[in-house]
Amino acid sequence: MVSVRGESSQRITQISSHKTHSVANELASGSIEVKNIEDLGDCNHPENYWVVATIVDVELDRGWCYLACQNFSKKLEKEGNKFYCKKCEQIQSATHRLLVLQMTLHV
SS3 49: coil
Confidence band of 102 (pLDDT split at 50, 70, 90)? low
Q: What is the pLDDT of residue 2?
A: 43
Q: What is the average pLDDT across 78-97?
A: 80
Q: What pLDDT score does 32 carry?
A: 76
Residues 57, 66 contacting (CB under 8 angstroms):
no
Asked if residues 37 and 107 have their Cβ atoms less than 8 Å apart, the reply is: yes
